[in-house]
Amino acid sequence: MTLKITARAGNPLDVQDEPVVVAVFSLVPTKTGALPEPLRSIDKTLDGRLAKLIAKEEFTGKREQSLAMQSPTATMNGKLTIVGLGDAKQLKVGDLRAITAKIARAAQNEKATSLTLVLPDDLRDRLRTIGEGLELGAYRFTRYLTGDRKPKSSLEKVTLVFAGKFTAASKEELELGQRIGTAINTTRDLGNEPPNEITPRALTQAAQTVAKANGLKAELFDYKEIVKRGMKLVQAVGQGSENKPSFAHLTYTPGKKAKKTVVFVGKGITFDSGGLSIKPAPGMGDMKSDMSGAGNLVGLMAAVAALKPNVEVHAILVCAENMPDGGAYRPGDIWGSLDGKTVEIVNTDAEGRLLLADALAYARELKPDLLVDNATLTGACVVALGTTCSAFYATNDESAKLFAGAVRDSGEQMWRMPLLEDLKEGIKSDVADVKQAGDRWGGSITAALFLREFIGDTKNWVHVDIAGPAFLEKPNGWSPRGASGHGILTFLSLIESMEN
């Protein structure tokens, strides 16, 4: 559900039941001891009680410090909370998005249906980020809750209060932020759905639905077409499941001649049992999240349609289930590929790189200026970087610098990892052109080196391993527990940077 967000000037305490949150930068001491606006006006309304509480609790406005008063006026039944933003010069986009998301999440948890958020006038030019944060923070996945478990209320309305005027341009930025937040929430919904609902076909159909709603071109390949086109590695991974593989190609074309073309590829394993190299039972239920790379691209393309960049954008979703039946592929198999290379299978639980190999071979034919894939690919990446940071690999420093800039501008956490050439020995095969996986040491790197075998003569390629942050055990920043949509904001920033 999209929030209804409006803006006004005036007394922020001119409400009755809803909570009021006032976000302030660090309080700078003055000779007179006077509070800055809007705290000064609020304190006057409260006959000096706010100033006394601030002094008593030693509130300084440092980032995410908070101070609360219950029913501060005779007519107001809600709570007044002061939240610190920290130093204005150090407030980055990710910080602002995280703070506004936490404010919305807190209101949601307190069963508030409406919220008044008072913001410094300095933030009127950052309304896109605020809109993103509020939408992302208000997100909940409640589709399968019934009876007493079904939430009785939800946050529906947010009123922003500024001292200055709210212009038409400000409204457009706020609406854009909301649309981007809603697009990411679409990805979260897909990632939180159970695997009996989100099958490979259902995931590509969801992409098709988003494309149709946003005026994008969509082409879907069923299993028969996948086999016909020679995507043998996709066939290998998916042939052991009753829910056969599915493939989608979405295209956004700008109204005028595009400056650049970027192609995104996403791994969509809608459930990963490990195949014949079956996973242990603990944690297998979370393997519904192995479609996060492809799921990201559904939300990304909805966000691209809202942004309307002067860049041609393609999204390639390659989707399958990795299941162990009598027709499943086996360790020891040798399979061909769309690229033409033969691949020795050593572990059926390293299936994602096989899907991506065929998808990259397909994507490279679009001759992009930049080719990007994203996938929940390796546990080794989580061991290296934890659960809140992704790894990325690049074929050259130019591509790495461009991508790192997008990471910085988005506020997400990603770290460049090396393509160590000496580890390439680990994917050499005695019986085929390449081996699917090396040993456990440097596992994220050897996976990236394997994928590089299938990009052909593509000069600029970035591989993103989102295994850690794609599905969280607890909320972090603007991301909730469960599917996060991590990566979409970086990809969107990347697209915007390619317009310049």
pLDDT for 152: 87
Mean per-residue pLDDT, 181-190: 98
Per residue in 359-398, pLDDT tens?
999 999 999 999 999 999 999 999 999 999 999 999 999 9
What is the percent of the chain where pLDDT is above 90? 85
Q: Are 286 and 421 contained in the same domain?
A: yes
353 is catalytic: yes
Residues ≥6 apart with Cβ < 8 Å to 192: 141, 482, 483
Per the listing, tokens 């939300």 go with 299
Q: How far is CA 381 from the centre of its chain?
A: 17
Domain match, 186 and 128 both:
no
Dihedral sign for Cα atoms in the order 428, 431, 432, 438: negative
157 and 191 belong to one structural domain: no
* Contact between 100 and 83 (Cβ < 8 Å): no
Q: How many CA atoms lie within 13 A of 185 on its CB side?
A: 23
Report if residue 175 sits inside a domain: no
Q: Which of 232, 353, 364, 435 is catalytic?
A: 353
Q: Which of 279, 416, 452, 481 is catalytic?
A: 279
What integer pLDDT is reported at residue 1 of this predicted model?
Answer: 53
pLDDT reported for residue 153 = 87
* Average predicted confidence (pLDDT) for the chain: 95
Distance, CA of 64 to CA of 86 (rounded, Å): 8
**Closest to 485 in 3D by CA, of 309, 260, 302:** 302
Say if residue 141 is in the same domain as residue 192: no
165-174, 293-302, 418-427: range with lowest mean pLDDT? 165-174
Average pLDDT over residues 38-59: 91
Residue 70 in any domain: the answer is yes
The predicted structure's pLDDT at residue 104: 97
Distances (CA, A) of 282 to 57, 286, 387, 499: 45, 9, 18, 45
- Whether 156 and 185 map to the same domain: the answer is no
Q: Tell me the per-residue pLDDT of 339-361, one tens digit each, with 9 for 90 and over.
A: 999 999 999 999 999 999 999 99
- Band (pLDDT 50/70/90 cuts) for residue 30 is low
Q: Token pair for residue 324?
A: 């162990």
> Is the residue at 88 inside a domain?
yes
Residues 10 and 88 in one domain: yes
Instruction: Look at residue 443 and tell me whether its pLDDT is greater than 70.
Output: yes
The CATH number assigned to the domain holding 333 equals 3.40.630.10
Mean pLDDT over 411-429 rounds to 97
Q: Residue 24: which CATH number?
A: 3.40.220.10
> For the chain, what is the domain count?
2
Write out pLDDT tens, residues 237-291. 999 999 999 999 999 999 999 989 999 999 999 999 999 999 999 889 889 999 9
pLDDT of 296 above 90: yes
User: Higher model confidence: residue 78 or residue 114?
Assistant: 114
Which residue(s) pair with 249 in the sheet? 219, 316
Identify the band that residue 32 occupies on the pLDDT scale cut at 50, 70 and 90: low
CB 229 within 8 A of CB 337: no
229 is catalytic: no
Residues 384 and 268 in one domain: yes
Is residue 168 in a domain? no
Same domain? For 51 and 145 the reply is yes
Residue 345, domain extent:
181-497
